[in-house]
Amino acid sequence: MSIEVGSKLQGKVTGITHFGAFVELPGGTTGLVHISEVADNYVKDINDHLKVGDEVEVKVMNIEKDGKIGLSIKKAKDNPAPMRNSYGANKGNFGAPKSGGFGPSKGGFNKQRKGSPRGNGGFNTAVTFEDKMSKFLKDSEDRLATLKRQTESKRGGRGARRG
pLDDT, one tens digit per residue, over 113-150 is: 555 455 555 555 577 888 888 899 999 999 988 888 88
Q: Which residue would you say has higher pLDDT here, 99 or 151?
A: 151
Q: Print the domain residue range for 120.
A: 108-155
Burial of 85 (0-12, 13-18, 19+ CB in 10 A): middle
In a domain, 86, yes or no: no
Stretch 93-99: mean pLDDT, rounded? 50
Query: What is the reported pLDDT for 116?
Result: 46
Domain boundary among 52, 76, 100: 76
Rounded distance between C-alpha atoms, residue 79 and residue 120, angstroms: 27
Query: What is the reported pLDDT for 90?
Result: 57
- Among 77-86, 105-114, 145-154, where is mean pLDDT lowest? 105-114
Q: Is pLDDT above 80 for 86?
A: no
pLDDT tier, 88 (very low <50, low <70, confident <90, very high otherwise): low
Rounded distance between C-alpha atoms, residue 13 and residue 51, angstroms: 7
Residue 20 and residue 71 in one domain: yes
In a domain, 118, yes or no: yes
| Helix (H) / strand (E) containing 58 | strand 55-63
Stretch 67-79: mean pLDDT, rounded? 87
Q: For the chain, what is the domain count?
A: 2
Task: Say how many CA atoms lie within 13 Å of 57 toward its Cβ.
Answer: 8
In a domain, 66, yes or no: yes
